[in-house]
Structure 1
């Protein structure tokens, strides 16, 4: 065996020894493993008072047995190491998938809270309307700085709500329309509309798919968030 082979063999045995020790075997078990790694196979016939020729034959058998045990040990160690590596890789992939999944869910939830908080603050401030009208056509004529057209929402019961007018606002940095209504109880309901950008707002429930709006209560304000007709919409009304 050359020097390179001896070095490789020594390094491999050292790795196997460290792995075995990590398994918390008994002292007797560790001693046996160490003996196998060192090639210390004891032949009882050599230790007896047998004739020299018998001892030589026994020595040859010992070498053969040692070689077989060493090969078997290598095969077992390699299998164990492969199993450990495979398990670790599988666990890493599962954890990564789980982490990514949870991360996406948390990100969407966090963005919904940010939208709800911004909408609730605007609703509480109740700033003066920039345009007062009960007609959607007049409202559209006013909102010339928007990159979308304000629309009616099927989620808002327009028969029970009377449009009062609107003003510009923003939702997470994008220019939006704030439209104020008054219901039969004369309670103000604010409808917010902005161009829906999934990369900014994340995945939100789409009304046309039968998905229900996200419902949150922030700052004493009940907020509903959804996507309809390609627009992100949100309503805000004070909680009784």
Structure 2
């Protein structure tokens, strides 16, 4: 793919710049090349291929995944999309804003299918919900320090897509230096699953087969 195209693609998905969501100050993450290095090195390109050598905020990651699964359009993240009256009637709505196309619809369709396979057959099995098509991706990152990556310091991440075939929710969970394991699939995926279960219960969309064996209180 090449280093320049790689970083250009990451920027289309919102990495390397503040999202403008409204939190101040907001982190902007970091993409190579590092300050003082005018061009990408070969090792930068290799590291980016598996998520090393860059940093991102959780809202950047979530917004990027939204673009990845919604048909390929990067949307402006917002804190509040709408406000409802106690009766359920809509009182206020913030219109969605399309920022740019991040990938093709065909690519987005393929990614949704891959994310579903991660949960059904891969490292995201702990996010399964019987009767519901769930997609997701695990992430396990080493934490950087003054002299490189810190030994034994990790960030575990899981991003859950619900439902996988026609997404309405993207749920991101991050555990900073977890103590009982450190892989995203074992630490963060169960928490993301519980959030998804809560949403399905609120919407009265939880299948009967999913009710059995859940620890969540509705």
TM range (shorter): under 0.3
TM-score by length of structure 2 reads: 0.25
Task: Compare the two structures and name the one with the higher helix fraction.
Answer: 1
TM-score by length of structure 1 reads: 0.24
Query: Whose radius of gyration is greater, 1 or 2?
Result: 1
